[in-house]
Amino acid sequence: MSKFWSKSTHNLAPYSPGEQPQDKQYIKLNTNENPYPPSPLAIQAMHDAANEDMRLYPDPELKKLKDAIAEFYAVSPEQVFVGNSSDEVLAHTFAALFKQDRQKNKSLLFPDISYSLYPSFCRLFDIKYEQIPVADDFTIQVDDYKKDNSGIIIVNPNAPTCIALSLDKIESILKANPDSPVVIDEAYVDFGAQTAIALINKYPNLLVTQTFSKSRSLAGLRVGFAVGSAELIEGVERVKNSFNPFPLDRIAVAAAIASINDKNYFESTCKKIIKTRNETREQLISLGFEVSVSSTNFLFAKPKEGINAESLYLSLKEKGVLIRYFNAPRIDGYIRITIGTDKEMAVFLEKIESLMQGQTINNF
Ligand SMILES: *Cc1c(COP(=O)(O)O)cnc(C)c1O
């Protein structure tokens, strides 16, 4: 707190990301990073871009990168927005589409179990919101989104529940809400769900956001994008150009283009992660965990009766394996495990098994 802060700064509720410990080496399964390196072509492109041209500003239109993304998804470049991380793309989206006139007394709708950055954005932009409870099995009930609102945002597949919504169900939300902007945050879509990008020409109110951080192994680069009708994209561009006209540096642009063009590498790493995920799920089930079917690069699991999720997280941390525990309503009995390499998952399973049967059981 400080007397120099503006009133709105006092009222913020900042998001707290998962730990990025700097003290020791963990097997890091806590922030949904990709265990495989970025495409070698992307790494080469970063080296190549570190040259004398760095004295020049990058292209404010980001034309080459937009063209590459547009080509990959078979849309037109006017239907693409690029930003410095999908978190920033989402922030601009909240400002451009969701910051409605409070007088109207309508709320932005999103599930009660969802990305916890959204309520922080609502505070930042003074947006009224309503969290719609997911069902007991954590599935999103689309009929609950067929009521008056100022906008809708859904993570698909959802985080941290890892459950995907079918394209039909997303379409039924779009159909029921022709006057509201509907944003689908597809941070994990490449690990097993269907992208709603296929619907953008049919629904001018649809904006889909994606990131290079998860399926393209570039969390350190900070590149995200949105695909939607030219009308929505133009709105988000207006906000971006009122905030930071040059959000991506030359190195990020070069790496992102190389990454999107290296389709084979992308597909093969996604495939490896999906395979490891499915195997890890089976093994956790055999250890007595309840584990939702995952369409993401992580698992959401409930330990068997008598084992406390938070203690499990703490004991694993002590043993050098970092997973995520959320001390939040409805999900405080669960752990979230990012999928690592086969070797990392073998160590994780071995530690978890020994904790569950061993002397340390008293800790739970
Ligand atoms: C990781 C994540 C993002 C953010 O991705 P960045 O591009 O790294 O900012 C957005 N939404 C959800 C649901 C995520 O899990």
Q: Can you name the residues that pair with 185 across neighbouring β-strands?
A: 155, 209
- Region 290-306: what's the mean pLDDT? 97
Q: 340 and 275 share a domain?
A: yes
In angstroms, the CA 215 to CA 220 distance is: 13
Half-sphere CA count of 14, side-chain side, radius 13 A: 4
pLDDT value of residue 361? 46
* pLDDT > 50? residue 362: no
Domain count, the chain: 2
Tell me what the mean pLDDT of segment 23-41 comes to: 95
Ligand 1 pocket member 211 (CB < 6 A): yes
Chosen domain end from 204, 238, 262: 262
Q: Measured from the CB, is residue 85 less than 6 Å from ligand 1?
A: yes
* Domain assignment present for 45: yes
Q: Does the pLDDT value for residue 23 go beyond 90?
A: no
b/e 223-257 (16+ beta carbons within 10 angstroms → b): bbbbbbbbebbebbbebbeeeeeebbbbbbbbbbb
Same domain, 90 and 158: yes
If one residue of 31, 87, 113, 117 were mutated to test the ligand 1 pocket, choosing by the most ligand atoms within 8 A of its CB, it would be: 87
Q: Which of 156, 213, 259 to mutate to test the pocket of ligand 1 (most atoms within 8 A of CB)?
A: 213
* Closest atom of ligand 1 relative to the 224 alpha carbon: 7
Q: Is 256 within 8 Å of 64 (Cβ atoms)?
A: no
Same domain, 152 and 213: yes
> What's the CATH number where 337 sits?
3.90.1150.10
Report whether residue 213 contacts ligand 1, using a CB cutoff of 6 Å.
yes
How remote is the CA of residue 161 from the centroid of ligand 1, in Å?
Answer: 14
Res 237: pLDDT: 98
Q: How many residues does the chain have?
A: 364
Whether residue 21 lies inside any domain: the answer is yes
> What is the reported pLDDT for 364?
46
331 is in which domain, residue-wise? Answer: 7-37+264-363
Q: Could you give the 3-state DSSP secondary structure of residue 157?
A: coil
Given a cut of 70, whether residue 70 has pLDDT beyond it is yes
Given a cut of 90, whether residue 105 has pLDDT beyond it is no
pLDDT band at 358 (very low <50, low <70, confident <90, very high): low
Task: Say if residues 335 and 292 touch (Cβ distance below 8 Å).
Answer: no
Mark whether 133 and 256 lie in a shared domain: yes
The residue contributing the CA closest to ligand 1 atom 5 is 86
Contacting residues for 355 by C-beta, under 8 A, at least 6 apart = 312, 315, 316, 319, 361, 363
Ligand 1 pocket member 159 (CB < 6 A): yes
Residue of higher predicted confidence among 17 and 56: 56
Which atom of ligand 1 lies nearest, measured to the CA of 223? Answer: 7
pLDDT for 1 equals 85
Are 275 and 127 found together in one domain? no
Query: What pLDDT is attached to residue 363?
Result: 47
- Residue 67 falls inside a structural domain: yes
Look at residue 15 in the predicted model and tell me its pLDDT.
Answer: 87
| Same domain assignment for residues 258 and 268 | no
User: Is 341's pLDDT higher than 80?
Assistant: yes
User: Which residue has the least CA distance to atom 15 on ligand 1?
Assistant: 187
Tell whether ligand 1 has an atom less than 6 A from the beta carbon of residue 114: no
327's CB contacts (< 8 A; 6+ apart) are: 310
Residues 288-299, mean pLDDT to the nearest whole number: 97
* Residues 110 and 187 reside in one and the same domain: yes
Instruction: Return the pLDDT at 16.
Output: 83
Segment 90-117 shows an average pLDDT of 91
Is 124 found in the same domain as 221? yes
Report the CATH number at residue 199: 3.40.640.10
Residue at 74 is within a domain? yes
- Structure confidence by residue, pLDDT tens digits, 235-270: 999 999 999 999 999 999 999 999 999 999 999 999
What gap in Å lies between CA 109 and CA 105, rounded to an integer?
13
Is pLDDT above 50 for 47? yes
Contact 352, 318 (CB under 8 A): no
176 and 275 in a single domain? The answer is: no
What pLDDT, on a 0 to 100 scale, did the predictor assign at position 71? Answer: 98
Residue where a domain stops, chosen among 241, 262, 283: 262
- Give percent of the chain above pLDDT 90: 91
Which residue do the tokens 């930071």 mark? 244
361 half-sphere exposure, CB direction, 13 A CA radius: 10
* Confidence at residue 356, expressed as pLDDT on a 0 to 100 scale: 87
22 shares its domain with 47: no
Residue 155 domain-assigned? yes
Q: What pLDDT, on the 0 to 100 scale, is given for residue 143?
A: 98
pLDDT value at residue 102: 64
Residues 171, 49: one domain?
yes
Residue 93 Cβ < 6 Å to ligand 1: no
In a domain, 2, yes or no: no
| 199 and 346 inside one domain | no
The span from the CA of 364 to the CA of 358, in Å, is 11
Residue 298 to residue 267: CA distance in whole angstroms: 17
195, 227, 262 - which closes a domain: 262
87 lines ligand 1 (CB under 6 A): yes
Residue 153 maps to a domain: yes
Nearest protein CA to atom 14 of ligand 1, as residue: 187
What is the average per-residue pLDDT within 284-306?
97
pLDDT at residue 360 greater than cutoff 60: no
Which range has the worst mean pLDDT, 74-88, 165-179, 214-228, 345-359? 345-359
Measure the N-to-C terminal CA separation of the chain; round to a whole number of Å.
Answer: 37
Say what the pLDDT of residue 103 is.
61
Residue 304 lies in a domain: yes
Write the pLDDT tens digit of every residue in 162-188.
999 999 999 999 999 999 999 999 999
Q: What is the dihedral of CA 18, 21, 24, 27, to 10 degrees?
A: 20
Give the pairing type, strands 182-185 and 151-155. Answer: parallel
| Ligand 1 contact via 115 beta carbon (within 6 Å) | yes
- Cα(103) to centroid(ligand 1), Å: 31
Kindly tell me if the per-residue pLDDT of 148 is higher than 70: yes
